[in-house]
Structure 1
């Protein structure tokens, strides 16, 4: 284990993960108290398989995040200038997959809730560091190792086909959008911006199939009265024929492209409308911008003649790189 309690600048890093084996994970500890940094260093003295660095404050930690991102971050909650909650929020925005564990000398459920809502993945009272620090880090590192192996396994995937069938639950549709993005991102062929675009396009397509396809609700109602629109959604989800309708999603994925076919069981729509040029006003329309976003963010978008199936393609061999 490598420990340096005085600085968080560049240091020799273990070799990156290769086919021969994974690299040593790195922990960055953030605390403005030199005493606490040294205490944690002592507690981790026998923790094998971990490269540990220290930062004296949130600003230094953010610099290190840009320069040489760690795999796990352990931060004090109460610090001058920028506290651990704000640091967790910024880390969550910059690197959503980076686990952040917040620790405080004060403890209490209220602080724990605030920490978790800020993007922290765990919470650790300093009064229990002696007992809980090592098992807490071990849990986080076990998850890190699992994700690393899953990522390596996904990079070896050459093709995959799957089918999902959903009822008319908006939350489930949004969750599926993220699951599908994760499947594609596992190939290591999408940068962060491309992952965001893919998620937006998938979510718009799934919610269009749900709201406008299966439930037959128009965009006009949502523009005029958002609350009334969602009241209609809730009502139709338990009424026939809407409640029995399903959304079927077929996915074909390889290292060249990701193809998503989303089918609803509604009456469809006039597909000639889908081919019109994108207008600037489309960006301002609440519920009318879905098709525009899909066409903008995906490489290909097409509909069947009935208008109840949309097929979207994102090419993965166009020079996109992981970020």
Structure 2
């Protein structure tokens, strides 16, 4: 049984969030009204995932992220943000939250985000913590345009970055989340040339709607002939990931280095917002079809 703690001072929002994920198999939902209540429950029985609002009495979501990271670095926290709280969301992600979902996009994105973050936390728990290396690891992977094959690859990559001495377990989870966002972004927007509106409309119909859209686009030319190349370069001090898609490139992304504040606000570009916040540097090449993500050890 997977236990998810929902933290929100609004009963309406608590139950609405619960209803979005309660019918998923194997989920047990528990509630807290604010950060102090959440921490007390976590100390009694640690959940597998925390979903929290940002603005709450007693202890807000930002303070909860900080406290949770100190006491429970292996428990990922997903933020929910209302319009107007973007600066707090940036701060909370910078402090250690694993992902975020604007409240206006909960219907389309929450379930998908929950599953993906849980998978990265599970891979982190299962990695071999005794694996430390001195030197470097380099590997190249070739991916089809099939999102279902990404989790297994990420599990393996998280084993590789186990040798990178990041600050704590939270950072290992966050690197996995950022890398997954980058791979999906390259498949969906690069190789398959899907827009954010197309993806959100399909998400509104549930998992099957999203899978149907991707399956249909993957079967069409020229999309079916494209692939993703992932290059992994890891030393004791730095992890660098280069992701190249086979699409036509995006001039809007050309030669850009993204900051933590990019793309927050409307709910568009959530993947880029997460990448630029969870990693230390995110840069596109001039053609807009090659993405480099860098994470530097803080030890």
TM-score (norm 2): 0.53
Show structure 2 runs of 5+ residues with no match. 1-41, 50-71, 76-117, 119-125
> Are positions 1:300 and 2:281 aligned together?
yes
Structure 1 Cα separation of the partners of residues 262 and 226 of structure 2: 34
> Are positions 1:261 and 2:245 aligned together?
no
With over 3 angstroms needed to count, the CA separation of the structure-2 counterparts of 1:171 and 1:225, relative to structure 1, is closer
> Are positions 1:191 and 2:168 aligned together?
yes
- Name 1:50's counterpart in structure 2: none
Alignment deviations for residues 6-48 of structure 1 (CA, whole Å, 9 cap, x no partner):
xxxxxxxxxxxxxxxxxxxxxxxxxxxxxxxxxxxxxxxxxxx
Contact 1:283/1:289 (CA < 8 Å) preserved in 2?
A: no
- Name 2:31's counterpart in structure 1: none
Contact 1:282/1:292 (CA < 8 Å) preserved in 2?
A: yes
Structure 2 Cα separation of the partners of residues 215 and 201 of structure 1: 20
Structure 1 segment 171-320 matched on structure 2, within 5 A: 171-226=148-203, 227=205, 229-270=210-251, 271-272=253-254, 274=256, 282=264, 285=267, 288-316=269-297, 318-319=298-299
With over 3 angstroms needed to count, the CA separation of the structure-2 counterparts of 1:277 and 1:221, relative to structure 1, is same
With over 3 angstroms needed to count, the CA separation of the structure-2 counterparts of 1:214 and 1:299, relative to structure 1, is same
With over 3 angstroms needed to count, the CA separation of the structure-2 counterparts of 1:280 and 1:267, relative to structure 1, is closer
Name the SS for the 2:293 alignment partner: strand
Structure 1 Cα separation of the partners of residues 292 and 235 of structure 2: 16
> Are positions 1:170 and 2:147 aligned together?
yes
- Name 1:133's counterpart in structure 2: none
**Number of aligned pairs?**
183
With over 3 angstroms needed to count, the CA separation of the structure-2 counterparts of 1:172 and 1:255, relative to structure 1, is same
Which one has the largest radius of gyration?
1
Show structure 1 runs of 5+ residues with no match. 1-64, 67-81, 98-118, 120-146
Q: Which runs of 4+ in 1 moved over 3 A?
A: 90-97, 186-190, 227-230, 272-281
Contact 2:260/2:277 (CA < 8 Å) preserved in 1?
A: no
Structure 2 Cα separation of the partners of residues 273 and 282 of structure 1: 20
Name the SS for the 2:249 alignment partner: coil
Structure 1 segment 38-57 matched on structure 2, within 5 A: none
Contact 1:166/1:248 (CA < 8 Å) preserved in 2?
A: yes
Alignment deviations for residues 220-269 of structure 1 (CA, whole Å, 9 cap, x no partner):
21234423554221101222221121110001110110000001101110
- Give the RMSD, CA atoms, in angstroms: 3.3
With over 3 angstroms needed to count, the CA separation of the structure-2 counterparts of 1:283 and 1:179, relative to structure 1, is farther
Name the SS for the 1:205 alignment partner: helix
Contact 1:246/1:265 (CA < 8 Å) preserved in 2?
A: yes
Structure 1 Cα separation of the partners of residues 145 and 227 of structure 2: 7
With over 3 angstroms needed to count, the CA separation of the structure-2 counterparts of 1:174 and 1:283, relative to structure 1, is farther
